[in-house]
Amino acid sequence: EAGVTQSPTHLIKTRGQQATLRCSPISGHTSVYWYQQALGLGLQFLLWYDEGEERNRGNFPPRFSGRQFPNYSSELNVNALELEDSALYLCASSPRPNYEQYFGPGTRLTVT
Amino acid sequence: GDSVTQMEGPVTLSEEAFLTINCTYTATGYPSLFWYVQYPGEGLQLLLKATKADDKGSNKGFEATYRKETTSFHLEKGSVQVSDSAVYFCALVTGGFKTIFGAGTRLFVKA
């Protein structure tokens, strides 16, 4: 069974640009979660999607947004990039809410 | 609000030593509790879980017991190996289906 996949592996952008990160969940999983892991810090919850709808959102500004497609894959968009957005962005999926999550390898976003 | 507090690292142990990583939580209701592990350069992997009070989760020699009276979920292993060197995250899932992670504890095991 294929695990959670994320693309790209690395992404380098300049301040003010937009970044798009993608995630494909494990087959059969309907929930997708996004986290930010800044260097030296723990995971901060960003967004949770289930069945195509945004179900919960962490304490991040509106320039962090995303969506979930009918095939349950998901996209995270970060607009007006700032230097402090540089981090590892992790996607996770679960077969249903309130269940253990399976993580992808992450996308390393660097903002210069 | 809901939160998870882990002991600060790094924790440095010699091979075959006993490991304890403390985790306490604050939550309303009855959350599910998890330990995840992140090996260098990789994403997180679920290590073990417990979904109700007095449950014991175990995997790969690691154990943790859901203690409601002390609101704790401490991770233990009787004999650590060099390959256990990683960052360990305690997490809870609240009634609102939101996962809250602790800050992580880095473990170094020396041969």
Terminal CA-CA length for chain A: 37
When CB atoms are compared, the residue of B32, B34, B104 closest to A42 is B104
Q: Are A92 and B36 inside 8 Å of each other by CB?
A: no
Token pair, residue B51, equals 């979904």
Residue keyed to tokens 């253990």: A100
pLDDT in tens, B30-84: 899 999 999 987 888 999 999 999 999 999 999 999 999 999 999 999 999 999 9
Identity of the amino acid at B14? S
Spatial neighbors of A104 by CB under 8 A, at least 6 apart, are A3, A4, A5, A6, A23, A90, A91, A92, B43
Integer Cα distance of B34 and B64 in angstroms: 9
Length of chain B (residues): 111
Is the distance from CB of A71 to CB of A56 less than 8 angstroms?
no
Quick one: B106 exposed, middle or buried, by C-beta within 10 A (0-12, 13-18, 19+)? middle
Spatial neighbors of A52 by CB under 8 A, at least 6 apart, are A68, A69, A70, A72
Q: Does B57 touch chain A (CB under 8 A)?
A: no
Residues in A whose CB is inside 8 Å of some CB of B read 4, 33, 35, 41-43, 45, 48, 55-56, 90, 92, 97-106
Mean pLDDT of chain A: 92
What is the pLDDT confidence band of residue B96, given thresholds at 50, 70 and 90?
low
Q: Are A45 and B99 inside 8 Å of each other by CB?
A: yes
When CB atoms are compared, the residue of A56, A92, A105 closest to B97 is A56
Is the distance from CB of B88 to CB of B62 less than 8 angstroms?
no
Q: Are B93 and A98 inside 8 Å of each other by CB?
A: yes
Distance from CA of A30 to the nearest CA of B (A): 14
pLDDT in tens, B2-25: 899 998 889 999 999 999 999 999
Biggest alpha carbon distance in chain A?
A: 39
pLDDT in tens, A70-91: 999 999 999 999 999 999 999 9
Q: Are A56 and B100 inside 8 Å of each other by CB?
A: no
Q: Is the peptide bond before A25 cis (omega within 30 degrees of 0)?
A: no
Q: Which helix (H) or strand (E) holds B69?
A: none
Closest CA to B50 of B37, B63, B69: B63
